[in-house]
Structure 1
Amino acid sequence: MKPDGVYGPGTVRAVREFQQKNGLAADGVLDPKTLARLNLSRRARELPRVVEAPDAGAAEVLYGLGAALGRRGGEDLGLVYLQLALYLQPNHALALLSLADLHEQLKHPRQAIKVYERVPVASPLRRNADIQLAVNLDALDRTDEAKERLNKLVAERPTDIDAIMALGNIQRGRKAFEECADVYGKGIATIEKPERPNWLIYYFRGICFERAKKWERAEEDLKTALKLYPDQPHVLNYLGYSWVDQGVHLDEGMRMIRRAVEQRPDDGYIVDSLGWAYYRLGNFDEAVRHLERAVELKPDDPTINDHLGDAYWKTGRVLEANFQWSHARDLKPEPEELVKIKQKLESGLPPEEASTAANAGKPKKPGGG
């Protein structure tokens, strides 16, 4: 933030002209809030300039205001200030990245791509823009194009862990778990001495290994992530739930999930894990209590609603179970889950499911064997 009184008449004219052209103010009159934020005053015109070019100084402050507003939930007003900054200084790379980021927050990938394309080729931030551009291409289901761009970036700079992570994340999001584990592995290979910030890539590779049914390798990566970042709630949740689901390390697994919930009590997915862990152990009353809370936090998640339906069924609340399953069905679950939900709506939980839940608490070999 610049000191009070650094904006002169040139800045006033520039802001007024921009607002007129973009329908932000009638007759080119600045509104009081804009005047206040720009600290325009008689005293300002009497002070010496603290920047060489007034437009550059104004652009810098407008960028700061826009970026701050965007981070604090004021996306719409943030867009206005960032566009103002870019009107004054069209090649302001940080303002461009912040504007594109706001479009991402607002789920406008097409607009974000257009802004990323405007980042100057010579800018040190151009590579960041190219990575995020690819991420937004994937959001538009232009996944092949996104992967092609990222593979090119990785080929140009094989140690660029940001590009590697972006490529792995796209493949993980598309459920290409073997491929994403391999990509994350390339990133891990570039790390000479793992440190705390590296926990995320081990965590992501662990997820990919687990989903690819390579539990021993998944467990190793998840433990490494937890060693790098002790008490990290997402890792505690994933590893702890995996153990409980397999019927191994039950006490430690439940302790880890509870600790994750303590840190993230408003994270519906983590609360769901605790409820479903109780379900797997046959403690259906506790399962209902936590799963109801999870549904409050994530009412539009089909899996959590499905879990609550199962728990209701186990506690004899048949009407409520069918309601939750119907709701889960209408929330567009994955195709394989939709089949199971429809079967439950027709005939309830299968009889063998009762013994499966009860046996979850019996110790098994690691890996589910």
Structure 2
Amino acid sequence: MKIFLSRSPLALVAVFCAFFAVAAPPTARADYPPITDPTISGSYLAARLAGAERDSDAAVAYLRALLKMDPRNEEVMERTFLAMLVDGEVEDAIPLAERLVKMDRSNRIARLALAVRSIKKGDYQRARTNLSLSVRGPIGDLTATLLAAWTMYGSGNPKAGVEMIDRLQGPDWYSAFKDINAGLIFDAAGLKKEAGRRLETAMKFDPSSVRAVDAYARWASRNASAATATQAYQAFEKLLPRHPLIGAAMAELSEGKPLPPLVKTPQEGAAEVLYGLGAALARQGGEDLALVYLQLALWLAPAHPLTSLTLADLYEQLKQPDMAIEVYEKVPAGSPLKRNAEVQLAINLDATDRFEDARKHLEALIAADPKDLDALVALGGIERGRKMFAECVGTYDKAIALVPNPARNAWTLFYFRGICNERSKKWAAAEADLKKALELYPDQPHVLNYLGYSWVDQGLHLDQGLDMIRKAVALRPDDGYIVDSLGWAYYRLGRYEDAVNELERAVELKPQDPVINDHLGDAYWKAGRRLEATFQWSHARDLKPEPDDMVKIVKKLQGGLDAVEAEPSVTQAEQKGG
């Protein structure tokens, strides 16, 4: 199960400064070799190239060299500072922050780093000073106010901290952050009634927020009843089942143990602020600022239960599996999230082309716990991605056996097993699986598309199959693969003009997909548009299709469509949504 790390109504992300163009996450951590005979222009260009290629180890190395050659250059200093923060080198970045604020006393990120350093040391007045001097904006205002409120708790005045939060005016999405932090401050300070009221408000505002639900239930276990806390957790379970943190908390409750506050110290509270905002920024396109916030949160509270997983998830989002692996490896063995981290680690091993390592890792997890549904689903997904269809059928068999009474959220198990059965040429089994997936989740567009196309492709239930594909397109009109299915279904039915119309639209949606371009070429040929067909096949060839498809495309370019069998390419089933 991929953990839903955090949800909040953040609908606006401040545009982050362009300096982060060279401060992207690295492909892998390593001791970068010393740079010999550096030049200013060479180091600058190399740093920019390293940033463009998302290799921040190299970016930091070249920027350090550049800074030594031009130590008073404010732009170089800021680029180096930001690159180091993104790379998690917070201790080394702090001296640069001190130099930057001497040049620009309101530098927001430098002031933030210095404030976090002060919070870590317990120097709360200095932290507030740094926060008050930073440049503001929607994100900056919220960050500074929440952090300052936690410093007021650290200074022994929690009510003044909450008053600061309540005075803050801003967009509607501020509310979730304001209420949960106010509630956490009150709870940490032992102000029971005030804490309960604010935490309940935060939970009701977003009942799918694991942090809001966990914070309220923990308060309830100490100040209301275990039944009230259990009820809150059970309501969350209905929305997002099997969350490890919720499961661990409920297990403690069942043993009669009251649950401690989610946050106890100002340092933990500040880390919670940075984690929550970092997670929200990552979802809204502010990946670089999110990396800064998450790295600062980890520096403050290395044991924060969700920051590491959020950071690893962000590296996955940025297609940096090596970095994600490194973060997952650091999740403590005793954490309820460790098993999820191990599963995700295996998925990222596969993403780095270490399939055997990934498979062995998952098989070890399954051997240790044969009922680990998440590990089985991950293994099935890896096998399916590697086109090991017979193997993935067996893996999904084991996963489905663990769900004796499947509900709607189990539709993917039958859908993916259906794909593996279809690709293994076991159509009867595949059809039964796809029908079961639709039974669990009627009108699911990917299932409608796959089953409908399969029927049309085999000459079965033609009207029903075509209607299903049309419905899938209506539900997902911007999905190029589903639109391609409709076009190819028309092609298989000999309706070539209709095929051309749909396939042209599919190519507009997915212009770099070789299969869709190949299909459009075939449709052009059948519609008598031979020159356009040749152009389309040439384009498909240049997009590096699968080897079997490449052979057919080359034959078509040499002798036309009649030179090959007019049938879907071997990758077509995958394009239907698998």
Fold match by TM threshold 0.5: yes
Q: Which of 111, 122, 143 is matched with 1:29 structurally?
A: 111
Map 1:85-234 → 2, pairs under 5 A: 85-234=297-446
1-structure distance, mates of 2:489, 2:317: 33
- Give RMSD over aligned pairs: 2.2
C-alpha contact 1:93 1:120 (8 A) present in aligned 2:
no
1-structure distance, mates of 2:352, 2:375: 19
Partner of 1:251: 463
Q: CA deviation at 1:159?
A: 1.4
Q: Which of 521, 524, 528 is matched with 1:316 structurally?
A: 528
Partner of 2:279: 67
C-alpha contact 2:147 2:273 (8 A) present in aligned 1:
no
2-structure distance, mates of 1:132, 1:41: 32
TM-score by length of 1: 0.87
Deviations 1:73-105 (A, max 9, x none): 222221111111111111213110010001001
Residues 153 and 353 (structure 1), Cα distance of their counterparts in 2 relative to 1, 3 Å cut: closer
C-alpha contact 2:343 2:378 (8 A) present in aligned 1:
yes
Residues 148 and 22 (structure 1), Cα distance of their counterparts in 2 relative to 1, 3 Å cut: farther
2-structure distance, mates of 1:216, 1:308: 30
Q: CA deviation at 1:39?
A: 3.5
Gaps of 5+ in 2: 1-7, 9-89, 102-109, 113-133, 162-184, 189-263, 569-578
1-structure distance, mates of 2:548, 2:355: 23
Partner of 1:40: 145
Partner of 2:37: none
Give secondary structure in 1 for the equivalent of 2:562.
Answer: coil
Map 1:321-332 → 2, pairs under 5 A: 321-332=533-544
The 10-residue stretch of structure 1 (246-255 or 320-329) with the greater mean CA deviation from structure 2? 320-329
Give secondary structure in 1 for the equivalent of 2:334.
Answer: coil
C-alpha contact 1:278 1:284 (8 A) present in aligned 2:
yes
Paired residue total: 341
Residues 20 and 213 (structure 1), Cα distance of their counterparts in 2 relative to 1, 3 Å cut: same
2-structure distance, mates of 1:264, 1:22: 51
Q: CA deviation at 1:35?
A: 4.2
2-structure distance, mates of 1:84, 1:109: 21
Amino acid at match of 2:94: K
Deviations 1:283-316 (A, max 9, x none): 1111111111111111111100000111111112
Amino acid at match of 1:336: D
Partner of 1:294: 506
Amino acid at match of 1:82: L
Amino acid at match of 1:116: Y
Residues 43 and 312 (structure 1), Cα distance of their counterparts in 2 relative to 1, 3 Å cut: closer
C-alpha contact 2:490 2:496 (8 A) present in aligned 1:
yes
2-structure distance, mates of 1:216, 1:252: 18
Partner of 1:269: 481
TM-score by length of 2: 0.57
Q: CA deviation at 1:23?
A: 5.7
2-structure distance, mates of 1:117, 1:250: 51
Residues 35 and 294 (structure 1), Cα distance of their counterparts in 2 relative to 1, 3 Å cut: closer
1-structure distance, mates of 2:395, 2:384: 10
Q: CA deviation at 1:40?
A: 3.2
Residues 218 and 23 (structure 1), Cα distance of their counterparts in 2 relative to 1, 3 Å cut: farther
1-structure distance, mates of 2:95, 2:511: 39
Residues 42 and 174 (structure 1), Cα distance of their counterparts in 2 relative to 1, 3 Å cut: closer
Give secondary structure in 1 for the equivalent of 2:463.
Answer: helix
1-structure distance, mates of 2:316, 2:140: 29
Q: CA deviation at 1:37?
A: 2.8
1-structure distance, mates of 2:463, 2:91: 63
Q: Would you identify which runs of 4 or more consecutive aligned residues in structure 1 move more than 6 Å?
A: none
C-alpha contact 1:18 1:84 (8 A) present in aligned 2:
no
Deviations 1:123-156 (A, max 9, x none): 0000000000000000111111100010111111
Q: CA deviation at 1:43?
A: 8.5
2-structure distance, mates of 1:209, 1:299: 30
Amino acid at match of 2:293: Y
Residues 127 and 23 (structure 1), Cα distance of their counterparts in 2 relative to 1, 3 Å cut: farther
2-structure distance, mates of 1:297, 1:270: 10
Residues 24 and 282 (structure 1), Cα distance of their counterparts in 2 relative to 1, 3 Å cut: farther
Give secondary structure in 2 for the equivalent of 1:38.
Answer: helix
Give 1 or 2 for the bigger CA radius of gyration.
Answer: 2
1-structure distance, mates of 2:146, 2:429: 64
2-structure distance, mates of 1:19, 1:142: 33
C-alpha contact 1:209 1:218 (8 A) present in aligned 2:
yes
